[in-house]
Amino acid sequence: MIGSIIGDLCGSTYEFRSIKHLDFELTPAQSEITDDSILSCATAETLLRGGNYAEAYRRFGRTYRSPMGGYGNGFKGWLYGGSHEPYNSCGNGSAMRVSPVGWACQTVEEVLAEAARSADVTHSHPEGIKGAQATALAVFMARHKASKEDIRSELSTRFGYDLSRTCDQIRPNYHFKATCQETVPEALAAFFDSTSYEHALRLAISLGGDADTLACIAGGIAEAWYGCIPDHLLQFATPRIPEPLAAILDEFRATYGPAHQP
């Protein structure tokens, strides 16, 4: 799941500074993790320890902050409000935090059920659940060495997404959008069009949308499919991940990482 965290970091400075090309600095010095990474670690901890996703998201959300990308208004209302009920969101927050599910679960049925469980505590809208399921299933299929065309076919058939578009077709008219249905297919396009992990991040950010979330989703899938991340990106990320979150990442990798995969 470090692939998701690095995507979030690389996209963090471009979230509100849209670019429409591939020739940009991928690792600006001011990059910081955002809510995408923080809540991904909350998902990972829940998978490691068991327990309640809602409790983990509240605890992590109240503990960690990032000036580069704050929580959405709906999530903040849920985070600090009196109600513990989901708020029927279809926002891309359910997809940005779900990549650990694709690593931890062992069957398609488990992936779909666990992704829905992680989403439903906040993003109970059908599109919010679907976005989480599609992202987690893409990670699962990627780590099981499915071809890109098989992943594309499965996701388009199961979830009804239009995955025929290329990044070059999406980019001209795309702008910042925060729903699953307008983020997940675009992040998937960046993965499908890519030739390497780093290329997937550049494509995702170059779409000019919610850059940290697009790169977080695409990066999580690309890590699972390409199987490695360049050392310079790992070295860039390591000092930018707070120690408590880094400890969760290390434990998650030791429990569910490549050594434990088919």
Q: In whole numbers, what is the pLDDT of the chain averaged over residues?
A: 95
The answer on pLDDT for 22 being more than 90 is yes
Confidence of residue 50 (pLDDT cuts 50, 70, 90): very high
Give residue 69's pLDDT. Answer: 55
Identify the CATH number of the domain in which residue 51 sits: 1.10.4080.10
Residue with the two structure tokens 């469980």: 117
Q: How many CB atoms lie within 10 A of CB 20?
A: 11
Our CA angle for 16, 18, 21, nearest 5°, is 155
Shortest CA distance to 118 belongs to which of 63, 34, 43? Answer: 43
Q: State which residues form the domain around 42.
A: 2-260
Q: How many domains does the chain have?
A: 1
Give residue 72's pLDDT. Answer: 85
Segment 154-171 mean pLDDT: 98
Q: Please give the model's pTM, rounded to 2 decimal places.
A: 0.97
Q: How far apart are CA 54 and CA 46, in angstroms?
A: 10
Residue 132 CA, distance from chain mean position: 9
- What residue type is assigned to position 130 of the chain? K
